[in-house]
Chain A
Amino acid sequence: METTKSNSADQFKCPNCGGYVTFNSDVQEMTCPYCDSSFDVSTLSEYSKLLETEEETPKWQDYSMEDWKIDEADQLKHYVCKSCGGEIITDAVTAASKCPYCDNPVVMSDQLIGSYRPDLVIPFQLDRDDAIKSLSKFIKGKKLLPNCFVKDNHIEEVQGVYVPFWLYDCGTSGNVAFKATRTSSWSDSNYNYTKTKFYSVQRGGSMAFEKVPADGSKKMDDTLMESIEPFDYSKAVPFNTGFLSGYLASKYDVTCVDNEPRITSRIVNSVIDEFRNTVNGYNTVNVDHKVITLDKGTIQYSLLPVWILNTRYKDELYTFAMNGQTGKFVGDLPIDKMKCFSYFLKATVACSVLGSLLVWFI
């Protein structure tokens, strides 16, 4: 009985020396780490396919002492490294990885065919060194950061990941009613008066949104992914598996339908903001009623470049993310409570001394 799905993995050999090539984000081409040759992604892809048709892959007899359970089998994928022949078992959504035996890049192309094939990909513009430098820059000058975090910091993992994103295009139209107020004050010898005038302010109109992103991976924290927005879609290109080489990649496991409530909420908030920006001359403006419709909606599936950096401090994992295109770096750093108290004390004493001097002399 077949327990794991055996598939071929896309790897690209250097036509010059036979080594496995990787995508270089700096030059936006495939480069061979052994002989430094460079290749166009699509040309090399076609060349590799040509070579594949002539190669005979040895077939192994099925062997199993114990069958996988059905639910386990659904969550696992089985690949064979074309470089060293090593058996690779991954989860059901991994689309690109590295061989654990020979460290060569592996692209599970069948994970990305059919409905899983992305429409777009934004190639990495920044490399691993940029990600590490960004982390150093991010933690620099953070007064509450524990000294040990900096001194003993060993980054456990720096991974370039193509994260699956759903991109939503749509037009919107709507009417928003605001309740707005204007206040004026005056006084006589006995009372202070405040007059508040209430207005019903209505705005109607339309606007269009393009490529609003929503994270399509369960493994990626949605807030973390929203924090590294925005991406520059002018650099997006039609998907080609060649871009994935050398990076990790996942196929989506959150459907576009699942993401619709979140995207709808973001779009509605923006529509209200746009209308609110046209309401001027009032002291307060609050939404009273709204009717907003989405139309001409289309959805695209894309892979967007993200650097993920993991580090551990006091047995707790700290994950940072960097937009692989723009370099925007986000993460939550640990806080040293003693430093907190120390800075609080210093600030309080300094202000007390300064305040006392001011009171004394003024």
Chain B
Amino acid sequence: MYGSYKMKKLISLSAFLFACSLCLLPTYASNIDDYDNLLTQTAQLELEDQIDELEELTGVNISMIFPEEYGDFSDGSEYTYAEFETLHGDDSDAILLMLCVDKGEWLLVSNGIGSEIADEYFQDFIKDNVMNYISVGKYEDAFVKYVDYLGDFINAYLDGNAYSQDNEYDLNTDTFALFSEGQDIIDLSELISSDVEASMQEIIDQVRSDYNFNISIITVEDFGDFLSTRTYTDAAYEHMYGQEDGVILMLCLNSRDWYISTEAYGDTAINDYCLDVMEEKVITSFSSANYDKGFYDFVSYSADFVEEAKTNTPYTYNNEYLTTGDFLKTTLIVIVASSFIGLAYILMLSKQMKNIRAVDTAGNYILKDTFHLESSSDKFLYSHVSKTVKPKNTSSGGGRGSGGGSSGGRGGKF
């Protein structure tokens, strides 16, 4: 009996301590108020540690609050300023991020050094590179990135090298760390043979020399933190060549994604028609695992397209690109079609030579006005529905990249 009593006491004590620890948790995680339960407990703890470390290093107070609603406050702004006042007072250097998923609103409120760090450039940056994760429900990724970026911006500020329109934050430093400087062909998946790579490089150099136009190929294992093949490819090109004229082909063997991105004059020289040609002639080689041929064709076609665009007019649906093979194929089709027409003509002439034909009816001999329709009925019996699968187009449309605002392209699965 005594043992049982002791056991009950022990259990009650444990439950009390556990409840106390839960109650104490929000006090400990004072940097993040997740009223909307957007983060798991583990993620929140990790973020707290990261924020504490950052605060200690920089002396800037960082906090985040995720309300379900604004309570008695009239709007998100009033709510956020009130919360900022409560958390940080008026005098401290601080930055508060408020996000209300239900309202679809977010706000950055800052003070002191915080105001200089979380300026308009930073807010635009966060909008472009963090809020896109929020819109697809990737809250943890979004907040981890937010804290990372914030740390980089604070450090840059403290180093006297604050990021701004004139000194942009290089988003891709880590993602494209493996990209060798000055290389046009970056084959991380090792799909291209050295001979073909050398041949392609000759063409690429020639095009750059003649027309100041970049042609690039990258094969990768993944897209890092990028949400789409388009944004990744655009960013890769920008990382390699900035805003220069050019085209880049990205191929990811793991996800079987491809994307061709064009930049500046590349949009004109390698337009939708040219991308159609590429998709037909190049991507099919990738589908059949003929990578050398596919990449070489890409470089070769790109060179032809650029040359035609620079020396004449770009290839379009009204000025189609024809290879020797296409020409022979078209000629063969014309000859075969003409042969059929010739054969039909001969059959028609032959038919004129003979007009002896049996007459299988006697319609000429029906006595006038003797046809009487005496009964007539149309009855529905049954119905049958058949269906055939519509052909799918797996390519994604062109569109413009979000970075420079002047890149186009096309992608899909191979």
Contacts and interface: CB of A to CB of B under 8 A. Distances in A.
Interface in A321-336: 330-335
Interface in B328-381: 330-331, 334-335, 337-339, 341-343, 345-346, 349-350, 352-367, 370-381
B261 to A, nearest CB: 28
B382 interface: yes
A344 B345 contact: yes
B367 A191 contact: no
Nearest to B363: A270
A352 B367 contact: no
Contacts of A211: 365
B383 interface: yes
A209 interface: yes
Q: Is the interface of A mostly helix, strand, loop or mixed?
A: mixed
Interface string B215-253: 000000000000000000000000000000000000000
A236 interface: no
A226 B359 contact: yes
A209 B341 contact: no
A290 interface: no
Nearest to A195: B385
B390 interface: yes
Q: Is the interface of B mostly helix, strand, loop or mixed?
A: mixed
Interface in A195-229: 195-212, 221-224, 226-227, 229
Interface in A69-93: none
Contacts of A196: 383-386
Interface in A151-202: 171, 175, 180, 187, 189-202
Contacts of A333: 353-354
Contact of B357 (A187, A194, A227, A347): A227
Interface stretch (A138-146, A252-260, A298-306): A138-146
Interface stretch (A39-47, A238-246, A261-269): A261-269
Contacts of B342: 343-348, 351
B9 interface: no
Contacts of B349: 142-144, 340, 343
Contact of B365 (A212, A224, A275, A343): A212
Given A199-B378, A343-B345, A351 B365 contact: no
A206 B388 CA distance: 45
Interface string B380-409: 111111111110000000000000000000
B354 A203 contact: no
Contacts of B377: 200-202
A192 B387 contact: yes
B338 A355 contact: yes
Contact of A191 (B330, B355, B366, B387): B387
B370 A202 contact: no
A122 to B, nearest CB: 15
Nearest to A227: B356
A76 to B, nearest CB: 31
Contact of B373 (A193, A209, A230, A278): A278
B355 A331 contact: yes
A120 to B, nearest CB: 15
Which of B377, B378, B385 has most chain A Cβ within 10 Å?
B378
Given A196-B383, A201-B378, A274-B371, A224 B356 contact: yes
Nearest to A358: B334
A251 B378 CA distance: 50
A359 interface: yes
B381 A267 contact: no
Contacts of B355: 227, 330-332
A314 to B, nearest CB: 15
A206 B342 CA distance: 47
B374 A204 contact: yes
Nearest to B354: A332
B365 A209 contact: yes
A356 interface: yes
B350 A144 contact: yes
Nearest to A180: B378
A6 B135 CA distance: 116
B358 A191 contact: no
Contact of B376 (A200, A202, A229, A350): A202
Interface in A258-297: 263, 265-267, 269-270, 273-275, 278
Contact of A194 (B350, B352, B379, B385): B385
A273 B361 contact: yes
A223 B356 contact: yes
A331 B356 contact: yes
Contacts of B346: 144, 340, 343-344, 347
B353 A332 contact: yes
Contacts of A346: 342
Contact of B335 (A209, A331, A352): A352
B370 A207 contact: yes
29 contacts: A145-B353, A171-B370, A189-B390, A191-B389, A193-B385, A193-B387, A194-B386, A196-B383, A197-B382, A198-B381, A199-B380, A200-B378, A202-B376, A203-B373, A205-B375, A207-B366, A207-B367, A210-B367, A269-B360, A270-B366, A275-B373, A278-B373, A331-B356, A332-B354, A340-B350, A348-B339, A348-B341, A355-B334, A355-B338
Interface of B: 330-331, 334-335, 337-339, 341-343, 345-346, 349-350, 352-367, 370-390
Interface of A: 142-145, 171, 175, 180, 187, 189-212, 221-224, 226-227, 229-230, 263, 265-267, 269-270, 273-275, 278, 330-335, 340, 343-352, 355-356, 359
